[in-house]
Amino acid sequence: MKHLRSIPELGVDGIVRILNLADHMVEVNRRPVPKVPALVGRTVVSLFFEDSTRTRISFETAAKRLSADTMTFSVSTSSVNKGESLRDTVETVDAMGVAAFIVRHKTSGVPWQLSEWTDASIINAGDGWHQHPTQALLDCHTIRTELGRSVGRECLAGLRIAIVGDVRHSRVARSDIQAFTALGAHVIVVGPRTLLPPEVHTWPVAVTSDLDSVIGDVDVLYMLRMQRERMNEALVPDLGEYSNRFALDRARASRLRADCLVMHPGPMNRGVEMMVDPSDLARSVITRQVSNGVAVRMAVLFDALGEANSEVSS
Ligand code: NCD
């Protein structure tokens, strides 16, 4: 794999390969010195044109644990503010000798555009509403590990996964649905009609606006963040009303099956979609998602940049 731009481009074999490599990276991360020389001398640049805390730090931690050199391009202090185009920015940084760009941008499709302007690997860290493939991979890895599933192509077979909330604006939902269903899970999309995309009926999912009818019968409850920064119209007339119908509150939490995993990509809107403290829930794996994110991103960088014969375990 040279680029990781979307889940469909990666395909089911690619997903399984990354998840298995991530198992190895989890082991590396447990060592007293969680660092291997796999990417010595390679430079990885993060180009984040949108705000981010966990994704950027997670990628940079992953790159450092593989001994890559890392550079961060921060838009707020860059020549983008002097009118530099995306192409000039990429070509300028590329001229310094870069092995991979990790890119986040508010416009869908930017990772594909970038790969026309540079020979470096492109890793998509979120493009608009479109894709967030490493989030989907770390979510699959978390479910697979926490539920003790097999390591093969059908590792999520038979699981019922509800994805709840603002699906319309969510690149996480789009990538997760593609990855979960590719691995055999049954996905139920739950949200108010105004926050479901018009094309949802063409997706390989069940759809409902009644969270209470499914909450007691799922293996994974995946809560999405309400993406208020992406809404340019009033899609939710009243946030309180939204929370009444779609938030995870105490009453709903008490109806979850004892072994049901609760997940959220972060950052959470407490009091909007999350009315309970996740640490009060028996099986919240939200912080596991964050720690698995580092291992999964190490696997992605190694898969894209590692030499065929280089040893991660050395
Ligand atoms: C997500 C994102 O930015 O797409 N967050 C993340 O990567 N941790 C989800 C979100 O912002 O709601």
The fold of 7-132+291-305 is Rossmann fold (3.40.50)
Residue 277 tokens read as 């403290």
- Please, which residues bridge with residue 71 across strands? 45
How far CA 92 is from CA of 5, 96, 98, 127, 294, in Å, comes to: 22, 7, 10, 21, 28
Q: Looking at residue 85, what is its pLDDT?
A: 82
Give 215: exposed, middle or buried? Use CB within 10 Å, 0-12, 13-18, 19+: buried
How remote is the CA of residue 11 from the centroid of ligand 1, in Å? 22
- Residue pointed to by tokens 């185009």: 85
How remote is the CA of residue 266 from the centroid of ligand 1, in Å? 6
- Residue pointed to by tokens 């990885």: 44
For ligand 1, say whether the CB of 171 is within 6 Å of any of its atoms: yes
Residue 207 tokens read as 């759809």
How remote is the CA of residue 172 from the centroid of ligand 1, in Å? 7
> Which letter does DSSP use for residue 228 in this model?
G
Count of CA atoms in the C-beta half-sphere (13 A) of 187: 25
Question: Which residue type, as a one-letter code, is found at position 15?
Answer: I
What confidence tens digit (pLDDT) does each residue in 3-53 have? Answer: 999 999 999 999 999 999 999 999 999 999 999 999 999 999 999 998 888
pLDDT at 124 over 90: yes
Residue 297's pLDDT band, with cuts at 50, 70 and 90, is: very high
How remote is the CA of residue 179 from the centroid of ligand 1, in Å? 16
Give the C-alpha separation, 266 to 224, whole Å: 8
Q: Looking at residue 60, what is its pLDDT?
A: 96
How remote is the CA of residue 274 from the centroid of ligand 1, in Å? 15
Sign of the Cα torsion 69, 52, 196, 199 reads negative
Highest mean pLDDT among 16-25, 52-61, 235-244: 16-25
Residue nearest to atom 1 of ligand 1 (CA): 265
CB within 8 Å of 117: residues ≥ 6 apart: 87, 90, 91, 94
> Which letter does DSSP use for residue 310 in this model?
-
Domain with CATH 3.40.50.1370 in the chain: 7-132+291-305, 133-286
Pocket of ligand 1, candidates 51, 107, 124, 172: which has the most ligand atoms within 8 Å of its Cβ, to mutate? 172
Atom of ligand 1 nearest to the CA of 224: 12
How remote is the CA of residue 199 from the centroid of ligand 1, in Å? 22
Residue nearest to atom 9 of ligand 1 (CA): 265
Give the C-alpha separation, 122 to 2, whole Å: 8
How remote is the CA of residue 306 from the centroid of ligand 1, in Å? 27
For ligand 1, say whether the CB of 135 is within 6 Å of any of its atoms: yes
What confidence tens digit (pLDDT) does each residue in 134-178 have? Answer: 999 999 999 999 999 989 999 999 999 999 999 999 999 999 999
Q: Looking at residue 226, what is its pLDDT?
A: 86
Mean of pLDDT over the chain: 93
Pocket of ligand 1, candidates 108, 134, 225: which has the most ligand atoms within 8 Å of its Cβ, to mutate? 225
Pocket of ligand 1, candidates 135, 137, 164: which has the most ligand atoms within 8 Å of its Cβ, to mutate? 135
**Which of the listed CATH numbers 1.10.533.10, 3.40.80.10, 3.40.640.10, 3.40.50.1370 matches domain 133-286?**
3.40.50.1370
What confidence tens digit (pLDDT) does each residue in 103-120 have? Answer: 999 999 999 999 999 999
How remote is the CA of residue 257 from the centroid of ligand 1, in Å? 26
| Cα end-to-end distance, the chain, whole Å | 22
Q: Looking at residue 83, what is its pLDDT?
A: 66
Q: Looking at residue 309, what is its pLDDT?
A: 45
For ligand 1, say whether the CB of 252 is within 6 Å of any of its atoms: no
Q: What does the pLDDT average to over 73-94?
A: 79
Query: What's the length of the chain?
Result: 314
How remote is the CA of residue 176 from the centroid of ligand 1, in Å? 12
What confidence tens digit (pLDDT) does each residue in 190-219 have? Answer: 999 999 999 999 999 999 999 999 999 999
For ligand 1, say whether the CB of 54 is within 6 Å of any of its atoms: yes
For ligand 1, say whether the CB of 132 is within 6 Å of any of its atoms: yes
Give the C-alpha separation, 134 to 58, whole Å: 10
Nearest to 62 by CA among 306, 229, 282, 240: 306
pLDDT at 311 over 60: no
Residue 78's pLDDT band, with cuts at 50, 70 and 90, is: low
Nearest to 114 by CA among 137, 85, 79: 85
What confidence tens digit (pLDDT) does each residue in 246-261 have? Answer: 999 999 999 999 999 9
